[in-house]
Amino acid sequence: MVKWHAAELAATAVEPKQYPRHDLPEVALVGRSNVGKSSLINRLLGRRLARTSNTPGRTQTLNFYAVDKRLCLVDLPGYGYARVPMRMRRRWQPMIEHYLTERPNLVGVIQVVDIRHPPTEDDKTMAAWLARRGLPAVAVATKADKIARGRRPQHVARMARELGLPVLAFSAATGEGRDDVIGVLKAMLLEARLAGEASGVSGATGGADGPDAAEGAGTDEGPGAPEAQRGG
Ligand SMILES: Nc1nc2c(ncn2[C@@H]2O[C@H](COP(=O)(O)OP(=O)(O)OP(=O)(O)O)[C@@H](O)[C@H]2O)c(=O)[nH]1
Ligand SMILES: [Mg+2]
């Protein structure tokens, strides 16, 4: 079980030279502005480390949260929200794209979507881009507390079908799905470690100490062509 003893903001970055220089494997959270990425991080860590807000566009930098020296969660600015000024979106897109394309520590991506609504075109574009890139990715459908329990499976199934990703229901408000998300993180760490061992590479993705990245995880990885094509 991953225990979250010591989580801290390791770095705030706009430019690559500001990324933290560490060996930790990183899992990034991507998703529409205001969907609940920062809230998800806070619920996972059990602390209000990431700033959240009702106003879309709260997170404006890449924020790196190091957890127990074994994993780093990376909170990214959101994409595709009409109320976020175009000038900001133009600034964020290269930032997000560069990180997702170039960062060697990156071992997986959690795409956060709103369980209440079908995925947006931007969500679909992002999911397809991640697939082409060959990054392990899982979608987390958050704000589950906002729809009746009985309707959740149907929403999750539709989301999975339309995004082509495994989908978990989650609520930052109630904590529902937290263990499932932690299971996904562990699987991503394990997969990265196995891939690192297989290729004889140590360091970033071979990484963190502690043997308990657990069971699970399909292992069809292998970096895809990193063509950066995503539109706003
Ligand atoms: N009811 C409910 N509200 C949530 C949940 N997750 C987030 N929210 C609310 O949604 C709003 C946006 O949450 P954030 O975590 O700031 O969203 P974000 O994706 O980080 O947004 P940006 O930083 O702007 O990209 C806040 O008002 C949160 O309180 C959830 O699971 N349930
Ligand atoms: Mg945020």
| pLDDT tens-digit series, residues 155-191 | 999 999 999 999 999 999 999 999 999 999 999 999 9
Q: Which atom of ligand 1 is nearest to the CA of 142?
A: 31
Is the pLDDT at 194 greater than 50, yes or no? Answer: yes
The more confident residue out of 117 and 202 is 117
- The model carries a pTM of 0.85
Residue 53 pLDDT class (50, 70, 90 cuts): confident
Q: What are the sequence ranges of the domains in the chain?
A: 7-197
Ligand positioned closest to the Cα atom of 37: 1
List the residue whose alpha carbon is closest to atom 30 of ligand 1: 143
User: Does ligand 1 have an atom closer than 6 angstroms to the CB of 39?
Assistant: yes
The one-letter code for the residue type at 62 is: L
State the Cα–Cα distance between residues 127 and 30, nearest whole angstrom: 10
State the Cα–Cα distance between residues 83 and 62, nearest whole angstrom: 20
Q: Which atom of ligand 1 is nearest to the CA of 41?
A: 15
Average pLDDT, integer, range 120-128: 92
Tokens read off for 21: 């220089």
User: Does ligand 1 have an atom closer than 6 angstroms to the CB of 111?
Assistant: no
What is residue 93's predicted lDDT score, i.e. its pLDDT?
A: 83
Q: Which atom of ligand 1 is nearest to the CA of 60?
A: 23
**Residue 178: alpha-carbon gap to chain centroid:** 14
- The terminus-to-terminus CA distance of the chain in angstroms comes to 38
Choose from 128-132, 180-184, 209-213, 216-220 the range with maximum mean pLDDT.
180-184
Ligand positioned closest to the Cα atom of 39: 1
Ligand positioned closest to the Cα atom of 173: 1
SS (H, E, C) the chain: CCCCCCEEEEEEECCHHHCCCCCCCEEEEEEECCCCHHHHHHHHHCCCCCCCCCCCCCCCCEEEEEECCCEEEEECCCECCCCCCHHHHHHHHHHHHHHHHHCCCEEEEEEEEECCCCCCHHHHHHHHHHHHHCCCEEEEEECHHHCCHHHHHHHHHHHHHHHCCCEEECCCCCCCCHHHHHHHHHHHHHHHHHHHHHCCCCCCCCCCCCCCCCCCCCCCCCCCCCCCCCCC
User: Does ligand 1 have an atom closer than 6 angstroms to the CB of 36?
Assistant: yes
Tokens read off for 174: 């109630």
State the Cα–Cα distance between residues 189 and 197, nearest whole angstrom: 12
User: Does ligand 1 have an atom closer than 6 angstroms to the CB of 59?
Assistant: yes
List the residue whose alpha carbon is closest to atom 27 of ligand 1: 54
105: closest CA among 7, 1, 208? Answer: 208
User: Does ligand 1 have an atom closer than 6 angstroms to the CB of 137?
Assistant: no
* Residue 231 CA, ligand 1 centroid: distance in Å: 24
Select 7-197's CATH number: 1.10.10.60, 3.40.50.300, 3.90.800.10, 3.30.465.10: 3.40.50.300
Ligand positioned closest to the Cα atom of 96: 1
State the Cα–Cα distance between residues 195 and 2, nearest whole angstrom: 20
